[in-house]
Chain A
Amino acid sequence: DGGITQSPKYLFRKEGQNVTLSCEQNLNHDAMYWYRQDPGQGLRLIYYSQIVNDFQKGDIAEGYSVSREKKESFPLTVTSAQKNPTAFYLCASSPRDMANSPLHFGNGTRLTVT
């Protein structure tokens, strides 16, 4: 079955360390996204990529970095510059025609930084 795989499901890190969250999709979707979810705040867009080797900042990109070297993969690095990194991170993908087949989400990674 096609889908989006995020790993690991839970991640723990010490403050000051960079950490990379994995996201892989086998849906052959062009676009991929990273969202951050905090209680009571809904989803906020961190970065998105419409095509390989290209990506754009979302609403809260500071302290994060991404790469898109392959169509299937869109890893997110949470750097030590991110002031409040503890959150639930969701990866998503979509085909080019968003209106008829919108976002498909992975099951998320819960990051805890202490």
Chain B
Amino acid sequence: GDSVTQMEGPVTLSEEAFLTINCTYTATGYPSLFWYVQYPGEGLQLLLKATKADDKGSNKGFEATYRKETTSFHLEKGSVQVSDSAVYFCALSPWAGSYQLTFGKGTKLSVIP
């Protein structure tokens, strides 16, 4: 079945450091890929998405590129802020219009001043 593997956390960075959170997936067909963010005590919010190979999703300074050849969707940000401290989830939808998402286990990011 489909699966998503994220790098294990927690990840602790200093403010203005470069962030990479690795995400790889296993799926048949042509999945859509997502990054969600969860701030403390809240639900998940969609951060960015990509629906086909080579697409780049971006939002709030975060970027991720859908790499079919490496089955990856790594999340990056050039300069993190304390307000980016949260848990980040990579997820896939197995095909456009599917009602079910498969989530990774999440990576907790802490940014210190």
Whether, in the assembled complex, A19 has its beta carbon less than 8 Å from a beta carbon of chain B, the answer is: no
**Is the beta-carbon distance between B42 and A107 smaller than 8 angstroms?**
yes
A91 nearest in chain B by CB position = B43
Binary interface encoding of chain B residues 102-113 relative to chain A, with 1 for a CB under 8 A from any of its CBs, else 0: 011110000000
Across the interface, which residues of B come within 8 angstroms of A99, CB to CB?
A: 32, 51, 93, 95-98
A43→B34 CA distance, assembly (Å): 14
A99→B51 CA distance, assembly (Å): 7
With A42-B89, A102-B46 known as contacts, the answer to whether A107 contacts B99 (CB < 8 A) is: no
A98→B91 CA distance, assembly (Å): 12
Total of A-B residue pairs, C-beta within 8 Å? 63
CB < 8 Å neighbour of A50 from B32, B46, B99, B105? B99
Q: For the complex, would chain B's binding face be called helix, strand, loop or mixed by DSSP majority?
A: loop
Whether, in the assembled complex, A46 has its beta carbon less than 8 Å from a beta carbon of chain B, the answer is: no
**Is the beta-carbon distance between A42 and B103 smaller than 8 angstroms?**
yes
A45→B42 CA distance, assembly (Å): 18
Whether, in the assembled complex, B14 has its beta carbon less than 8 Å from a beta carbon of chain A, the answer is: no
**Is the beta-carbon distance between A98 and B46 smaller than 8 angstroms?**
no
Across the interface, which residues of A come within 8 angstroms of B27, CB to CB?
A: none
Which chain B residues (3-47) contact chain A, with CB distance < 8 Å?
A: 32, 34, 36, 41-46
A41→B49 CA distance, assembly (Å): 22
Which chain B residues (52-107) contact chain A, with CB distance < 8 Å?
A: 89, 93, 95-101, 103-106
B32 nearest in chain A by CB position = A99
**Is the beta-carbon distance between B105 and A48 smaller than 8 angstroms?**
no
19 contacts between A and B (CB under 8 A): A41-B105, A42-B89, A42-B103, A42-B104, A43-B44, A45-B100, A48-B99, A94-B99, A97-B96, A98-B93, A100-B96, A102-B101, A103-B36, A103-B44, A103-B101, A105-B43, A107-B42, A107-B43, A108-B43
